Structure 1
Amino acid sequence: MIDLAALTSLRAVAAHGSVVAAADALGFTPSAVSQQVKRLERQTGVPLLERVGRGVVLSRHGHHLVEAGGRVLADLEELEARLHREAGAVAGRLRMTAFSTAVRGLVAPRLRLLLNEHPDLSVTLHECEPWDTVDLVSSGQADLGVAHRWGDVPLVVPDHLVATTIATDVADVIVHRDHPLAGRDLLTPRDLLEEDWVATPEGTICRQWLHRMYDGTGRLPRIAHQSMEFDSHLALVRARLGIALVPRLGRQPLGPDLVAVPAAEPVPTRDVVALHRRSMTDSPAVAALLAALRD
């Protein structure tokens, strides 16, 4: 009989490209993951990993087992969800991921209320970026993830995931109160062509959206400073080192030194979406968590 825990470890090796990375994602030691894969090899009687240089890759048998085993795990997950639905049980453990401003502005305020209402349910939360959330939920390492997508900047979601919009967020241009634009009722990209920006790093969804805002101006935003954290953006604007585009969700109070000016043409909006595998659609725990996030 194939060990399902060992199969999960093999799938993690396939998803992350190495035993060490798989161990880190699963919260195990590399030795424990190696032992589980070896146990799986003894159970199946075929080699599942092949050594290449200092690393390992899946063998042909390993790839076949990961693909077929994924379907088996999905069927078992769906069966478990249906059993819980028939029992009406909002119970068990859910692994959740969310991006930072959603943790502050959406998840934290509502998760405590949900757990108070359902004492047999436990939820563990891991903060990460949207593309990591898609990978973690898709590969079975998280059960529900909260991600975002800005305007027409795509967030690619695999077919076996369900995306549910739970909120819509808007970003404002944040300027120092002494900035010449602080008194404006509305700002367009053409008003901001000569401004220095505080932005998230290249390749992030928020940075992509900032670039899209400038479409049609013949210019790109002039990036002066980069930071992943919007709290740092506010600190840099407060120090008069640039302006920033900061979402309202989870935004810290601006205080007396900063002003939020709405943006237009286009309006910078993002959908906040919850992702889960289709095999967990019948889970009362997933349904309860989705309902809590939408309230």
Structure 2
Amino acid sequence: MIDLRRLHVLRAVSHYGTVTAAARALHFTPSAASQQIRQLARDLGVDLLEPQGRGVRLTPAAESLLAHADAIAARWEQAELDLRADHRDPAGPLRVSGFAAAVSVLLAPMAARLHKRHRRLSVRIQEVGVPESFDLLFEGATDLAIVEATPHNPPLSDARFDQQPLLDDPFDLVVPEDHALARRARVDLADAAHEQWIAPVPESPCRAHVMSACGEAGFSPDVVHHAVEWNVTAHLVASGLGVALIPRLAHLTPHLPISRVRCTGNPQRRLLTCTRRGGRELPAVAAALEELGELAPTAVA
């Protein structure tokens, strides 16, 4: 009989990449996590980890075992759904997460609408970055996340997660209000090729979108300033320190002396709803997804 607790430790090593990181997430010591995996290996009579440089990697046997483990996790979600089949009205806690703009524009109004329609449902919102949302889903600490599609996310084929498109969020060129491009209804990014630029910090998910949009317009931007928050970016633009691409979902400080100009080619980022595999049909999650489906079309109008 496979010990499911030990199997979960192995899944955590696969998700977080190292025994140390998995142990930290599970509130184990690294030695205790390693012991759990060694015991699981002895129970099964196969090697699950092998040395790789200074670390370890999963063996083919471990990868095969994890495919079954992911299927088991999805079946548990289905079991919960079956047990609630006679109680379809959403009730209890619903834990949701997302990055700042998603919380402000989508999750907050979603929670307010759910509160009015389903009095027995309690929504709990957590603002986190995209990688952290996947961690929370994996750990069972959140039920639904809004994430930005990036090359660093788990692939759509990942058996642990169910990722579905929610909306495409266009980027606007943001310039000082007295800038020559501010008077245009739509601008070609190539016209801003010789400007100084303000860009997201390198670790931001949006950094790749900005650089890719400029690359497709035929230039590499002269980035002189970096910012984490979109409002910080907007204030830098307002001070005449450069131009920037800012997603339409980002609500900026009112009355700044800036103009948002739509771009030809429609550069954009894609937002996804993400649940654990099998969790999308749970009554509370399904109700939240219905509300998000109604909110999304007007969020970036």
CA contact (8 A) 2:235 2:256 kept: no
> Where in structure 1 are there 5+ consecutive unaligned residues?
none
Q: Cα deviations across residues 78-126 of structure 1 (Å, max 9, x unaligned)?
A: 1212322342152455553322211222112322442562535454535
Residues 209, 155 of structure 1: CA spacing in aligned structure 2 closer, same or farther, 3 A cutoff?
Answer: farther
Residues 60, 94 of structure 1: CA spacing in aligned structure 2 closer, same or farther, 3 A cutoff?
Answer: farther
Partner of 1:189: 189
The answer to whether the aligner puts 1:12 opposite 2:3 as a matched pair is no
After superposition, residues 45-124 of structure 1 pair within 5 angstroms as 46=45, 50=49, 52=51, 55-58=55-58, 62-91=62-91, 93-115=93-115, 117-123=118-124
C-alpha distance in structure 2 between counterparts of 1:170 and 1:134, whole Å: 24
Q: Cα deviations across residues 244-277 of structure 1 (Å, max 9, x unaligned)?
A: 11112132234242222222x2123344321234
Mean CA deviation greater in 109-118 or 43-52: 43-52
Q: CA deviation at 1:47?
A: 7.0
C-alpha distance in structure 2 between counterparts of 1:7 and 1:224, whole Å: 48
Q: CA deviation at 1:291?
A: 1.4
Partner of 1:220: 220
Q: CA deviation at 1:8?
A: 2.0
C-alpha distance in structure 2 between counterparts of 1:180 and 1:119, whole Å: 54
Letter in 2 for 1:119: R
CA contact (8 A) 1:149 1:155 kept: no
Mean CA deviation greater in 97-106 or 38-47: 38-47
Secondary structure of residue in 1 paired with 2:249: coil
The answer to whether the aligner puts 1:125 opposite 2:109 as a matched pair is no
Q: CA deviation at 1:72?
A: 1.7
Q: In percent, how many aligned pairs have the same letter? A: 29
C-alpha distance in structure 2 between counterparts of 1:188 and 1:45, whole Å: 60
CA RMSD across the alignment: 3.8
Letter in 1 for 2:265: P
Mean CA deviation greater in 137-146 or 4-13: 137-146
Letter in 1 for 2:292: L
Residues 190, 51 of structure 1: CA spacing in aligned structure 2 closer, same or farther, 3 A cutoff?
Answer: closer
C-alpha distance in structure 1 between counterparts of 2:216 and 2:50, whole Å: 51
Partner of 2:298: none
Query: What is the aligned length?
Result: 291
Residues 273, 15 of structure 1: CA spacing in aligned structure 2 closer, same or farther, 3 A cutoff?
Answer: closer
Normalization by structure 2: what TM-score?
A: 0.77
Letter in 1 for 2:285: V
Q: Cα deviations across residues 168-208 of structure 1 (Å, max 9, x unaligned)?
A: 43322212223333333322112211111111244755333
Letter in 1 for 2:175: V
Partner of 1:292: 291
Give every structure 1 segment of 4 or more consecutive aligned residues whose post-TM-superposition deviation is greater than 6 Å.
138-141
After superposition, residues 201-216 of structure 1 pair within 5 angstroms as 201-202=201-202, 205-215=205-215
